[in-house]
Structure 1
Amino acid sequence: MNFVIPTIPDATRAQHASKGWPLALAGSVLLLVSGLLSWSYDPSILGDISIAFWPATFQLFAMILGVIGIVLALMHQGPLSKLGNWFDAALGLRALGTASLLVILFGLFAISYQAGGLININPGGWVALLGAILLLVGGRFVPQRTLHSFAKAKANSTLEIVVIVVLMALVLFGLAYVLGQDDPWVFVGFLIMAGGAAMALARAGFFTWLSHISQRHRHVLTLAAFAVAFLFPFTQDGSDANMSIATQVLIFAATAIGLNIVVGLAGLLDLGYIAFLGSGAYVAAMMSNAASATIGWKPPFVVVMLIGACVAATLGLIIGSPTLRVSGDYLAIVTLAFGEIFRLSMFNLDGNNGPDLTNGPNGIPGIPDLNLFGFDFGKPHEIAGFTLGRFSNYYFVLLLLIGFIILVFTRLNNSRIGRGWVAIREDERAAEAMGVNTFALKLLGFAVGAFLAGLAGTIKAHQDTASSPDQYIFLESAFLLSAVVLGGMGTVAGVLVGATILKLLPEKLRFFSEYRLLLFGLLLVVMMRVRPEGLIASKRRQLEFHEDDEALASEIQQDHLVEKAAEAAR
C-alpha cells in the first residue's frame, strides 16, 4: 500500500491564488523581523537569543529563511518577476515554508526543554512561528508559472563568476560556523536550516542554473573550491579539535573517491575496501622511525607513499583476479571476506602466528610526525599572523593529495577507460558483446581504486601516530560505501559532500551517545527514499531513477547539446 501525501487540488489553488503571494511575503517578512526580537528570557540558551536587535543562532536562522522567502516572493510577483520566468518560485516557497516551520518548532522546543516550559519563550519566538505558518500556507497557494530552459539561458559571464565566488565564500563561512558550534541544539538547528534552505533553492531551480554556469566556468569553480579549502584552516584560530575532524574528512574523502571508481563507474560492489587504506597505513608504519617499526629500511616518505600505494594495488589485483568473474551478491560476499581476512592477518603477523611485521593486536604505536624538507609537521607554525597547528599541517598535504586524486578520477572518467567502466555498469553482457574487455577493465578499476586508497593510508598512519587492526573494521567499509551512495555515484562533488556529512555528523552528534548511529541510520533511510540518486547526482544516474520524467530527459538532452557546442567552440 503506497502512502500518498495529500496535496491541494488545482481548483482550490486557483480559487485562492490571489491570497497565496501576500501570505507568503508577509510570513517571510515576519521571519526576518523575528530575528531582531528577543526569543528567550534566559541568556544561557542557544547562544544568548535574549537580546533584541543583536541576532544570534536561531534568530539568524529565521532571518536567513525570511530573506530567501522575500526574494522568492518578489521573483514570483514584484521587482524580480523577470527572474521568475527562469526560477520556479512557487515550488521554492512551498519547500521553504515546510523547512521554516521545522526550524522554528525545533528552536521553540529547545527553549522550552532547556528553560522548563513554553512560558519562557519571548515574543520573538512566537512571531517567528506565525511567520513560518503564514509562509507555509501562502506557499501552498502560490501558482506555478511556465518557465524557460536554463540550457538556452545567456547571462553575463562576470555575474556568473561573481555568483560562484560568493557561493564558495558562503560555503567557507558555513563550514567555519558549524564546526565552531559546541551547543548541540544550535548545531542540529543549523543543519535543519541549511538543509531546508538548500531544498527550497533546489526546488526553485537554483542548483540547476548553478550546474549550467559551473559547466561554463568549470575552471573558475575548481579554483574557487580549492581556495575555500586552502583558507579553511585560517578560520579556526589554531584549533586542533576542528582541524582533526577536517583531516579525517579529507582522508575519508580521498579513499571514497577511489571507491567511487569501483562502485560509481564500474558498478562493482566492494564491501572490504577499507583493507586497501589499511595496507597503505601499515606499510608507512612499518617503514617509519617508530620504536616498534618492524622493517629496518627507512626510505624517504615520497618513496614510502609509492610503495604503500603499489602494495595496495597489488592486493587489489590479487583479490580481483579470481573474484571478478563473479558479480552481484557473490562479489559483495567475497570482498567482505577479503576485508575481514586483511584485519585478521594484521592480528596474526605478530611473530608467533606468522612473520613479525605488524605487532599483532598491539599495532604499531608511536609513529613520528612527518618531516619533509626540514618542515616538521608536529609543530605549530605562524603564517601571516595565523597559528597553524599539527593537524593544519597534515590538512594541507592531504589537500594536495585529494587534488591529485580528483585529477586522476576526472581524467579516467572522461577517457575511453571511463566510458568502458560505465558501459560495464550499465550492462556488462552488452559491453562485452560490443568488444569491451570487461575483465581487464574491472581488474584495472580495482587496482586504481586500491592505489589511491593506499596513498591516503600512508599519510593517515603518520597523522594518527599509530596503526592497529581495530581501525579497519567492516563498519568503515560500510561508511565509505555510504559516502559514495549518499553523495552521488560517479561524481566527485557528490562524494566530497557525502564524505563530509558522514564524518562530520557522528563527531558532532556525540551528545546523543549510543543513539547517534540510530539517528544517523534513519537519516540515510530518509535520504534514500527522498533522493535515491544522491545529493549531487550525475544526470545519467538521475535519469536512471526517474525514467518516466520526460522533462528531465529533455533537459539532459539539451544540456548535452550545449556541452558539445561549447566543446566545439573551444
Structure 2
Amino acid sequence: MTTDTTTPSTHTTPVLPLPTTAARAGVLTGAALALAGTFLAWTQSDAFPGNLTVTGYPGGLQVITLVGAALTLLLALSGMGIRGLGWLTPGGKNSPVRLTALGVLGTTAYAMTAISAQLGGTINLEPGAWISGTGALIAAVAAFGLPADLPADDTITGFRARFKHALKAPTPGRAKELPNSAEILIIAAAFGTGLYVFAYGIDAYSELFVGFFITTALVATALFRAGLIARLNRLTAKHRTITLTAALIAAACFPFTQTDESYALIGANILIFATVALGLNVVVGLAGLLDLGYVAFLGVGAYTAALVSGSPQSTFGIQFPFWAAVLAGAAASLIFGVLIGAPTLRLRGDYLAIVTLGFGEIFRITMNNLNGSAGPDVTNGSQGIPNIPDLELFGFNFGMPHDIAGFTLGRSGNYYLLMLLFTAVVVMVFRRSGESRIGRAWVAIREDETAATAMGINGFRVKLIAFALGATLAGFAGTVQAHVSYSITPEQYLFANTVPPNSAFLLAAVILGGMGTISGPLIGAALLYLIPAKLQFLEDFQLILFGLALILLMRFRPEGLVANKRAQLQFHENDQLDVPEQRTDTTAVGTAKAGA
C-alpha cells in the first residue's frame, strides 16, 4: 500500500472574517458623516478665511473635506465589489481607502485646529465641524481595521463570499481593451482634471492651500496604490503624441482660468523653474553628474539678455531683437559650460560637486565685483540691471494686455504662454537627446563609468556634451527670466535661499520629481515653487514643515514622484523575493500522485 505524502494545495481563496465587514461599515458610516457635516456651518464668525458660516452648501475647506469623503466612499464601495465601481480599485486593495480616510481626517482636523487657534477656542466650532471631524475619525480608525493588501489573485472580500449573486468583485489583472476614441477621451479628461486641480491650488489662499495639499498628496498616493495611475500611464505610453498634445493644450489653457495677474505670474515663474530643472536633469538625471552650481548658467543667460535688452542701466547701450537675445544668452551659457566643464569633468563624485559649487559662488561674486570699482563696470555690481523693458515680438508687446477669444490676457499671462513655448522646446530637446545614441551613452556613464569606458565610450567627451547642453538650456530659460522679473541682481543666483530658483531647489526638484524622466522635474519644480509661496504665512515654521515633507517623501518614495522602472527596481530591490514563491496547484498534485 502506497501512502500519499503529497502536500495538499495551499492556494485557497481566503474569506475575510466578519470584523472586516464591520470595518467597511465603519468606513462608510464615517465618510458619510464627514460628507454630511460639510453642508452645515463650521463656525459663525466670518473672521476665518473662507465661507464656513453657511448652512446648505460647502465652502472653503469644507469643499476639500467633501471631495475626500466622497472619494473614500467610492473606494470603499469599490472594494466591496459594487457593480460599476470595480475599475476604481483594479486589484481590490484596501490601502487606498486608508489613505483617503487619512486625508479627510488631516484636512478636517487642520480646519478645526485653525478655527480654534485664530478665533480663540473650540467654542467657535459649530455642530457641522464636530460632525465632520467625528466622521473623519471614525472612517480613519475603521480603515485600519481592513485587511492588508493582498496579491491581485488572492484578493476577495467578505461581501463577495456572502452575496455572490448581488455583488461583483473587482476584476484583477489587465484592464479590458477600450476603443481608441475612448482612450483618447480618458487622456483628455485626465489632463483636464489636472488643470483644474493645479488652477485650484494656485488660486487657494494660505489656509485653504494647507488642506488642499494634505488631501491632494494622500489622494494621489491612493490612486497610485489603487492602480489607476498605472492604467493611465499605459494609455499615455500607447498614445504618446496625443498625450503631449493634451498636456500642451491643458497648460496653455491655464492663464485663461485665472482672473488675478499674480497667479498667472506664479505660473510663469513655475515654468521658468521647471524648464531649468529639466535642463539640470540632463546633467544629473541622464549623465549622473552632480552639479551644485547649475543656477549660475541661468544667471549667465539672464545677464546676457539684460545687457542687450536696451535697458537704460545696461552698460552696453544696445538692444537686440528677442530672437538674437535668446541665441546670445544660450551661446554665452554654452561657452561658460564648456569652459567650466573642460577642466573639471575629469573629476568624479563629491569632488565634481565641490568644484561646481565653487563655480556657482564665483559667478555670483564676479557679478558683484563688475561694478566699476572692484572691476570693470559691466553689471552694476549689487545694484544689478533694473528697468529691463518688456519684449516685443512680431509687433506683439508682452507688457500690454491683449484680448484673445473673449479673454483678456495681461502681462503675466503673455509671458506664461511664451515660457510655455520655451518649455515645449526644452522638452523636445530632452526627449530627443535622451533617446539618441548620445543619450544611451549618458545612461551608461551614469550607471558605471568604468564599464562604459571599457566598452569604447569616450567618457570625458560624453560628459562634456551633457554639461554643455544642460548649460545651454538653462541660459535659454534665463533670457525670458530677465524680462519677466524686470531686473537682475547677483543675489538671485545663490546656492540656497528661500526663493527659488536656486541650485539647491533645482537639484531637489530633479531628485524628488524623478531623475531621468520628463514629467518628474516638471512636477517637482511646480511643487517646490508653489509650496513655499503658499506657506509664507507660517513664517519660521514653513522651512520646518517643508523639510519634514521632504524627509517623508524620500522615506516612502525615494525613486521620486515620477520614476522610471530602473529607479523603482533600484530603490525597492529589498522588496523583491530572492526566490519566487513555490506555488502548488491541482495539476502539480495530480502529477505527484501519479508518480507515487
Query: Is the TM-score greater than 0.5?
Result: yes
From 186, 207, 213, the equivalent of 1:191 is 213
Shift in Å at residue 325 of structure 1?
Answer: 0.8
Map 1:304-343; keep pairs closer than 5 Å: 304-343=325-364
Match status 1:431 vs 2:452: yes
Match status 1:207 vs 2:237: no
After superposition, give the CA deviation of every residue in 1:343-381 in whole Å (9 maximum; x if it has no partner). 111112223333332122221111111111111111111
Match status 1:147 vs 2:173: no
Q: Distance in 1 between matches of 2:85 and 2:411?
A: 51
C-alpha contact 1:85 1:145 (8 A) present in aligned 2: no
Map 1:2-41; keep pairs closer than 5 Å: 14=17, 16-41=19-44
Match status 1:131 vs 2:157: no
Greater shift in the superposed pair: 13-22 or 284-293 = 13-22
Match status 1:504 vs 2:527: no
> 1:553–1:413: structure 2 CA closer, same or farther, 3 Å change rule?
farther
Task: Tell me the TM-score normalized by structure 2.
Answer: 0.87
Number of the residue aligned with 1:563: none
Match status 1:94 vs 2:98: yes
Number of the residue aligned with 1:284: 305
> 1:153–1:12: structure 2 CA closer, same or farther, 3 Å change rule?
closer
Shift in Å at residue 341 of structure 1?
Answer: 0.8
> 1:84–1:20: structure 2 CA closer, same or farther, 3 Å change rule?
farther
Greater shift in the superposed pair: 263-272 or 147-156 = 147-156
Q: Distance in 1 between matches of 2:490 and 2:483?
A: 16
> 1:513–1:85: structure 2 CA closer, same or farther, 3 Å change rule?
closer
Greater shift in the superposed pair: 155-164 or 100-109 = 155-164
> 1:470–1:54: structure 2 CA closer, same or farther, 3 Å change rule?
same
C-alpha contact 1:150 1:209 (8 A) present in aligned 2: no
After superposition, give the CA deviation of every residue in 1:306-336 in whole Å (9 maximum; x if it has no partner). 1110110111111111111111110010000
Give the SS at the match of 2:478.
helix
Q: Specify every segment of 5 or more residues in structure 1 that has no aligned partner in the other structure, as ranges.
A: 1-10, 555-570
C-alpha contact 2:329 2:476 (8 A) present in aligned 1: yes
C-alpha contact 1:287 1:294 (8 A) present in aligned 2: no
Q: Distance in 2 between matches of 1:216 and 1:54?
A: 41
From 45, 68, 86, the equivalent of 1:65 is 68
After superposition, give the CA deviation of every residue in 1:247-288 in whole Å (9 maximum; x if it has no partner). 111111111100000001111100000110000011111111
Shift in Å at residue 522 of structure 1?
Answer: 2.2
Map 1:463-474; keep pairs closer than 5 Å: 463-474=484-495
Give the SS at the match of 1:369.
coil
Q: Distance in 2 between matches of 1:355 and 1:155?
A: 67
Q: Distance in 1 between matches of 2:175 and 2:112?
A: 45
Considering fraction of residues, name the structure with more helix: 1
Map 1:134-533; keep pairs closer than 5 Å: 134-143=138-147, 144=149, 146-147=151-152, 154-182=177-205, 184-237=206-259, 239-475=260-496, 476-533=502-559
Shift in Å at residue 518 of structure 1?
Answer: 2.9
Number of the residue aligned with 2:156: none
Q: Distance in 1 between matches of 2:328 and 2:122?
A: 62
Q: Distance in 1 between matches of 2:184 and 2:466?
A: 35
Q: Distance in 2 between matches of 1:31 and 1:320?
A: 58
Q: Distance in 1 between matches of 2:176 and 2:241?
A: 20
Shift in Å at residue 120 of structure 1?
Answer: 2.1
Q: Distance in 1 between matches of 2:471 and 2:190?
A: 34
From 564, 585, 595, the equivalent of 1:538 is 564
Task: Tell me the TM-score normalized by structure 1.
Answer: 0.91
After superposition, give the CA deviation of every residue in 1:55-75 in whole Å (9 maximum; x if it has no partner). 112221121112211211221
C-alpha contact 1:75 1:89 (8 A) present in aligned 2: no
What amino acid does structure 1 have at the position aligned with 2:120?
G
Q: Distance in 2 between matches of 1:159 and 1:52?
A: 40
Q: Distance in 1 between matches of 2:397 and 2:105?
A: 50
> 1:63–1:142: structure 2 CA closer, same or farther, 3 Å change rule?
same
What amino acid does structure 2 have at the position aligned with 1:97?
A
Match status 1:103 vs 2:107: yes
After superposition, give the CA deviation of every residue in 1:483-527 in whole Å (9 maximum; x if it has no partner). 111111111111111111111111111112233223222221222
C-alpha contact 2:308 2:318 (8 A) present in aligned 1: yes
Give the SS at the match of 2:144.
helix
After superposition, give the CA deviation of every residue in 1:96-129 in whole Å (9 maximum; x if it has no partner). 2222221111111112112222222222222212
What amino acid does structure 2 have at the position aligned with 1:306?
L
Greater shift in the superposed pair: 267-276 or 462-471 = 462-471
Greater shift in the superposed pair: 325-334 or 32-41 = 32-41
Shift in Å at residue 82 of structure 1?
Answer: 4.2
> 1:126–1:236: structure 2 CA closer, same or farther, 3 Å change rule?
same
> 1:500–1:436: structure 2 CA closer, same or farther, 3 Å change rule?
same
Q: Distance in 1 between matches of 2:88 and 2:41?
A: 34
Q: Distance in 1 between matches of 2:86 and 2:552?
A: 35
Q: Specify every segment of 5 or more residues in structure 2 that has no aligned partner in the other structure, as ranges.
A: 1-13, 154-171, 497-501, 581-596
> 1:553–1:519: structure 2 CA closer, same or farther, 3 Å change rule?
farther
C-alpha contact 1:42 1:48 (8 A) present in aligned 2: no
> 1:552–1:471: structure 2 CA closer, same or farther, 3 Å change rule?
farther
Greater shift in the superposed pair: 48-57 or 305-314 = 48-57
Q: Distance in 2 between matches of 1:150 and 1:542?
A: 20
The structure with the largest alpha-carbon Rg is 2
Shift in Å at residue 444 of structure 1?
Answer: 0.4
Shift in Å at residue 551 of structure 1?
Answer: 8.2
Shift in Å at residue 43 of structure 1?
Answer: 3.2
How much is the aligned-residue C-alpha RMSD, in angstroms? 2.2
Number of the residue aligned with 1:558: none
From 114, 121, 126, the equivalent of 1:122 is 126
Give the SS at the match of 1:471.
helix
C-alpha contact 2:47 2:119 (8 A) present in aligned 1: no
> 1:440–1:124: structure 2 CA closer, same or farther, 3 Å change rule?
same
After superposition, give the CA deviation of every residue in 1:507-559 in whole Å (9 maximum; x if it has no partner). 111112233223222221222122111111112112110013338999xxxxx
Q: Distance in 1 between matches of 2:88 and 2:380?
A: 65
Number of the residue aligned with 1:4: none
Map 1:33-52; keep pairs closer than 5 Å: 33-52=36-55
C-alpha contact 1:324 1:331 (8 A) present in aligned 2: yes
Give the SS at the match of 2:379.
coil
> 1:173–1:540: structure 2 CA closer, same or farther, 3 Å change rule?
same
Between the two proteins, the alignment pairs up a number of residues equal to 542
What amino acid does structure 1 have at the position aligned with 2:225?
R
